[in-house]
Amino acid sequence: MGSEYGARCRKCGKKFIVQDGGGFTFVQVRCDKCGHGRFIDFRDMGELHNRYIKGLSGSYSIATAQHDKHVQENYAGEPLTEEEYHKLIEGFAGRHSCGGHFRLDAPVRCIDCGSTDIEADEESRYGCCYD
Ligand SMILES: [Zn+2]
Ligand SMILES: [Zn+2]
């Protein structure tokens, strides 16, 4: 699944939580202008995700293996390559209200000043016990 970590902006010092990565049942896209994150459920993508699964040689993840196999054996649509899939996800995600585009590889940005110059904040890391 995706993870969450504390981050700190090197520019303005703002601390915030970054949610990173997709999961078994969703992907994350980020606005390339302001860094706003959005999660897209595979179910909302419908055909798109099925076509991607169809194009995979194995399953997408262990958790979805059964479902993936079913899709690969029964889905009659055209398979997608990873590259096509990513392009279509971004097309599906569309634009953020700020005018930016949602992208899979957009960088994490400071929620205050929009800088991409951020670092992981050790203090607010999960779990404790850093000495
Ligand atoms: Zn935005
Ligand atoms: Zn900042």
Instruction: Give the tens place of pLDDT for each residue, 34-71.
Output: 999 999 999 999 899 999 999 999 999 899 999 999 99
**Is 75 within the bounds of a domain?**
yes
In this structure, which ligand is nearest to the CA of 114? 2
Ligand sitting nearest the alpha carbon of 33:
1
Query: What does the alpha-carbon distance between residue 12 and residue 5 come to, in Å, rounded to a whole number?
Result: 18
Q: How far apart are CA 14 and CA 121, in angstroms?
A: 10
| pLDDT of 19 | 83
28 falls within a domain:
yes
Please indicate, yes or no, if residue 8 is contained in any of the structural domains: yes
Domain assignment of residue 71, given as a range: 3-124
The bound ligand whose nearest atom lies closest to the alpha carbon of 109 is: 2
Residue 115 counted as domain residue: yes
- Decide if 108 is inside a domain: yes
Ligand 1 centroid–CA 18 distance in Å is 15
Is pLDDT of 128 > 60? no
Does 131 reside within a domain? no
pLDDT over threshold 60, residue 131:
no
Number of domains in the chain: 1
